[in-house]
Amino acid sequence: MSARDRLRIAIQKSGRLSDASQDLLARCGLTFRRSRDKLFCFGESLPVDLLLVRDDDVPGMIADGVCDLGIVGRNVLAEQALGAGPEPAFRELRALGFGQCRLSLAVPQESTWEGPAGIASQRIATTYPNLLADWLRRHEVEAKIVTLSGSVEIAPRLGTADVICDLVSSGATLAANQLREVATVLESEAVLAGGAALPNDERAGLAQMLMRRIDGVIQVRVSKLVMLHAPRAALDAITRLLPQGQPPTIMPIEGSVDDIALQAVCTDAITWQHLEDMKRAGARQMLVLPVEQMLA
């Protein structure tokens, strides 16, 4: 294979998404050998290579064709998409279920909040001017956007802004700076990003295979295998009590005409209450097992 017949994925080299991104790829069966500068990882198990870069660089690298896929925060992808015009050369392909946070407006704790109209004509500090401008436009609010490269949360104390628009996870940073969250601009998490169109060569098959594996890994995180015995007459009642998931598999029990064995993969949480309810409906010998791997 030539070098560009290999699929390239860009991820954050360090930061809150880095370890989780590498763990996701490892769970998809990918192994890598790092270069000496630790910025390029050669795929050993499959023709898929890894680039370790700044998260802000991922969308541009996809747009320029340097890489085919990337793992990046939705906040970064959406911010750059809004700045790229009506047809950006990159798009979100999959939400990945980690790195959750939100881009929110926050005001000083002593300030009142009466809705978006209350910040008209005020100064709002942010590192996400495009997302903020879009939110203001949708709420028909005119305000001054103060673009900062960092330390947004201290802007009100420095007198450079009245309100901030910044990423929030736990809210501890806001509280430490005597700010309170009042509105959500964007719900964010890590996403798999790709070009406006997938490659039309060998890389297309690799990309599709990787996305199937990612889907399987995401499902496995919350999936459980439920196994139980029950009277055949109780089957409908028990099936209705199962959390959301795949249709159950029903098998006869040797030596028993009236009893069946049931197993089902459930993709919603299974609580003690679920088990108690199914037991009352007639289930017995119930087992809830983790699912290690799954491919639809």
Confidence of residue 2 (pLDDT cuts 50, 70, 90): very low
Higher pLDDT, 254 or 74: 74
Q: Which CATH architecture has domain 223-290?
A: 2-Layer Sandwich (3.30)
pLDDT higher for 293 or 114?
Answer: 114
Q: How far is CA 81 from CA 76, 128, 131, 260, in A?
A: 9, 12, 10, 54
The side-by-side arrangement of strands in the sheet containing 7-12 is 32-34, 40-43, 48-53, 7-12, 69-73, 190-195, 90-95
Beta-carbon neighbour count of residue 216 at 10 Å? 17
| 250 band by pLDDT with thresholds 50, 70 and 90 | very high
Residue 245 has pLDDT above 80, yes or no: no
Average the pLDDT over 189-196 and give the result: 96
Q: Which residue has the higher pLDDT, 59 or 271?
A: 59
The answer to whether 132 and 144 have CB atoms below 8 angstroms apart is: no
- Please state, in angstroms and as integers, the Cα–Cα distance from residue 75 to each residue in 56, 92, 239, 259, 282, following that order: 10, 11, 40, 53, 48
Q: Give the pLDDT of residue 1.
A: 41
Average pLDDT over residues 264-268: 86
Instruction: With a cut of 60, say whether residue 128 has pLDDT above it.
Output: yes
pLDDT of residue 239 exceeding 70, the answer is: yes
What pLDDT band is residue 221 in, cutting at 50, 70 and 90?
A: confident
Indicate whether 17 pLDDT > 90: yes
The CATH homologous superfamily for domain 3-99+190-220 is: Periplasmic binding protein-like II (3.40.190.10)
Q: How confident is the model at residue 296 (pLDDT cuts 50, 70, 90)?
A: low
The domain segmentation of the chain, as residue ranges, is 3-99+190-220, 101-187, 223-290
Identical fold for domains 3-99+190-220 and 223-290, yes or no, is: no
- 8-24: average pLDDT: 94
Question: Whole-angstrom Cα distance, residue 251 to residue 229?
Answer: 10
Token pair recorded at residue 131: 């997302």
Structural class in CATH, domain 101-187: alpha beta
